Structure 1
Amino acid sequence: MLFSDIRDFTSVAERLSPEDLVALLNTFLTPMTQEVMSRAGYLDKYIGDAVMAVFGAPVARADHAERGLSTALAMHAALARLQPSLRQFGVEQLQIGVGINTGDMVVGNMGSADRFDYTVCGDAVNLASRLEGLTKTYGVFCLVGAGTRAAAPASYRFREVDLVRVKGKGQPAAIFELLAGPGGAVAEYAALDRWTAALAAFRAGEFSKARAEWLAFQAENPDDPVVRLHLARLAGLGDTAPPDWDGVAVFHHK
């Protein structure tokens, strides 16, 4: 499953007439849809400015995870090419977030006795949607679930970002930032070994070590919003982990 969404679209929409808003959406959605379909993805639906796409159905494909990841990279590149044409609408720049997850889903016709659609349903679908939403919180382009990370070819690079419990789920899920693949790069960081060490120390409740490693990482990557988020979280925790510490970030919003 792949979900994508335009960042701060409400503020963009309120500045445009209905006619210009529709023209902007059509201009944006056309290349995004083409990137999905050119990789044999099924465009499930548009949800306003959001795109919901399925890989591996209705035709089963063993490389469905790679197709989804490749689509995300292609969307990133297509948006960069599209930016100059958006100025006709008074929009200097659009940003999008992408969430991808791999897992078991029910696929088929769903709805009522009077009307139905071919779509997908299941916990793995819900997590993909939550991951897209969390790209706003973490300030990254694309977040993927552990299933997608495990199924990805070695040519794709990731950074583990956090362990989260999202709204509607009881079990925590590891989330990963998509960095690069054969289709291009969306993010690059120095000193990733320090990031890995900081994350391990944080989960072990070794807050002083985690803080030192993240500060060193931040010195090499001063514009990274994720390290700022983790350091702010540490500032509120102090130096000693609580007795029930599990390192999981809990989110109550979508």
Structure 2
Amino acid sequence: MMFCDMEGFTGLVEKLGPEEAYGIMDQVYEILIHKVHNYEGTVNEMTGDGIMALFGAPIALEDAPQRAIRSSLGIHREMIRFNDKIKQERKSIPPLKMRIGVHTGPVVVGTLGNDLRVEFKAVGDNAEFCLF
């Protein structure tokens, strides 16, 4: 599993205002989601400024840890390109940094909820390690 979190997003919102920060985060989510899917991962949670992604769930993948690492490297490469683009458009925006944690181990994966709201979740100690 992989957890991505944008460093300093709260400060960015304060500096730019919520509408412009939302537009930037929308573009960042586009990068994150595509790079996870490029390596057959599943985005199971979207936070205010990041994502949690699973590799090897719901479909088992023998090389799931390697896919998570490749995805994280792809995200870092794409964020460098994105920063270059943003820098040309708005010089006042500081470079955006993405923190990424990858952890492997057994977890229980499934849907939680009812007909009003359902979420695809990973539960267990190993799911928590990825967040730190």
The amino acid that maps onto 1:123 is: D
- Structure 2 CA distance for partners of 1:92 and 1:8, relative to 1, 3 Å: closer
CA offset at residue 72 of structure 1?
0.9
From 103, 106, 109, the counterpart of 1:104:
106
Instruction: In structure 1, list runs of 5 or more residues that go unmatched.
Output: 131-254
Alpha-carbon distance in 1 for matches of 2:116, 2:32: 31
Alpha-carbon distance in 1 for matches of 2:120, 2:11: 32
CA offset at residue 115 of structure 1?
2.3
Alpha-carbon distance in 1 for matches of 2:101, 2:71: 11
| Larger Rg computed on CA atoms | 1
Aligned equivalent of 1:119:
121
Alpha-carbon distance in 2 for matches of 1:51, 1:114: 23
**1:27-106 equivalences in 2 (<5 Å):** 27-87=27-87, 88-89=89-90, 90-106=92-108
Q: How big is the alpha-carbon RMSD for the aligned residues of Structure 1 and Structure 2?
A: 1.4
Partner-residue secondary structure (3-state), 2:78: helix
Q: Deviations over 1:150-169 (max 9, x none)?
A: xxxxxxxxxxxxxxxxxxxx
Equivalenced residues, count: 130
CA offset at residue 92 of structure 1?
2.8
Alpha-carbon distance in 1 for matches of 2:16, 2:129: 32
Q: Is the 8 A contact 1:104 1:124 kept in 2?
A: yes
**1:242-253 equivalences in 2 (<5 Å):** none
Partner-residue secondary structure (3-state), 2:126: helix
Structure-1-length-normalised TM-score: 0.49
Alpha-carbon distance in 2 for matches of 1:113, 1:120: 19
The amino acid that maps onto 1:120 is: A
CA offset at residue 125 of structure 1?
0.4
The amino acid that maps onto 2:98 is: I
Aligned equivalent of 1:245:
none
Alpha-carbon distance in 2 for matches of 1:123, 1:112: 24
Alpha-carbon distance in 2 for matches of 1:57, 1:117: 14
CA offset at residue 39 of structure 1?
0.6
Alpha-carbon distance in 1 for matches of 2:12, 2:18: 12
Partner-residue secondary structure (3-state), 1:61: coil
Alpha-carbon distance in 1 for matches of 2:118, 2:29: 24
**1:1-254 equivalences in 2 (<5 Å):** 1-87=1-87, 88-89=89-90, 90-111=92-113, 114-130=116-132
Partner-residue secondary structure (3-state), 2:15: coil
Q: Deviations over 1:37-57 (max 9, x none)?
A: 011000112101111100001
Percent of matched pairs sharing the same residue? 28
